[in-house]
Amino acid sequence: MNASFAPIPAALLVVALALAGSAHAQSGTDSYSGMLSYLSTDTRIDGGALAGANGSIKVNQAAGDLNLQANLHSMANGGHASASVRSLQQRQSNLFNSPMQATATIGGNALAGAGGIASINQASGGGNAELNSVTATLAAQGIREASDEAMASSEVLASAGGQSTVTDPRATRRVGVEASALRGFDGVLQLNQIAGSGNATENRFSISVQGTP
């Protein structure tokens, strides 16, 4: 015996799906922003990431909302060489969620045996600002000591704006570099790690050396 079924009209199928979605949405008691505040944000550089790398290494890694990150390297070579960087990171009156759990970690054999200039930003959370800047000059006019005024002329500014805090005692914040990571690294290492919200961190490095006659 062969049974036959009448096809469901497409219009009815769409209505049924829409009604099901509406019923599911109304069954929830928490707001969307409230649920987001309980999520965890985690960033991790692990395994053999960048192991043995050489040169100018820049890493930006973020988990969360409205995080600002920048790595700026400026280098110059010449008789009267000059190198500078300019950056403006500013955030004000932004709304973001502060997760219950936030971690930022470097582990495994990450950057093991690497060398050169490594600038790393890691952020877990919301509304953070991180900045690494490097200026290097190879000039024939000789070695010059970088004064505070000269470093300030790089015009580097990082601002996270308003602060956001988590008052729940169950909240956790963790940052760290495991013992196995960064082994044998040779050179300049800049590292910003943030677990939380509304923070601003910055690293500056400036050097000027005399070239070979």
Longest dimension (CA), the chain: 99
- Cβ neighbours around 41 below 10 Å, total: 24
Distance between CA atoms of 138 and 210, rounded to whole angstroms? 6
Q: What is the pLDDT of residue 29?
A: 42
Distance between CA atoms of 74 and 72, rounded to whole angstroms? 7
Assess contact for 49 and 106: CB atoms under 8 A. Answer: no
Is pTM, for the whole model, over 0.85?
no
Q: What is the pLDDT of residue 121?
A: 96
Q: What is the pLDDT of residue 66?
A: 86
Q: What is the pLDDT of residue 11?
A: 35
Q: What is the pLDDT of residue 107?
A: 95
Distance between CA atoms of 205 and 192, rounded to whole angstroms? 14
- Cβ neighbours around 150 below 10 Å, total: 14
pLDDT along the chain (213 residues), means of 10: 46 32 37 57 93 95 90 86 77 70 93 96 91 86 51 47 58 88 95 90 85 58
* Burial class (CB within 10 angstroms; exposed 0-12, middle 13-18, buried 19+) of 117: buried
Q: What is the pLDDT of residue 123?
A: 93
Assess contact for 91 and 159: CB atoms under 8 A. Answer: yes
